[in-house]
Amino acid sequence: MKELLKDLDKAFENKIRIGIMSALYVNKYLDFNTLKNLLGVTDGNLASHLKYLEKSEYVVYMKEFLDRKPNTKYFATPLGKKAFKKHINAIEQLLK
């Protein structure tokens, strides 16, 4: 059990961060507004949790322009996907 608890990641000890990672796990990428609407959170809240995940190197973003308007796409990194899968697997295993 101690071993499984070690696989639980502080980065995912927050429901918004779990939401972000789930969304970026199953979608190749998502832009800021899509993520915001999907999760039903405020701009500030989403931005702060995205920043946390960027610092952990679990999420990266790419800025581009669509019709001269800035558009930011967010991606889960391979490291982030791996950590998230490990976290979810550990939770599932804990109940077995």
CB of 74 to a copy of itself, least distance (A): 15
| DSSP E strands, 11-88 | 30-31, 59-66, 69-76
CB of 22 to a copy of itself, least distance (A): 4
Binding of residue 52 to a copy of itself (CB under 8 A): no
CB of 62 to a copy of itself, least distance (A): 22
Binding of residue 78 to a copy of itself (CB under 8 A): no
Residue 20 and residue 59 in contact, taking contact as beta carbons nearer than 8 Å: yes
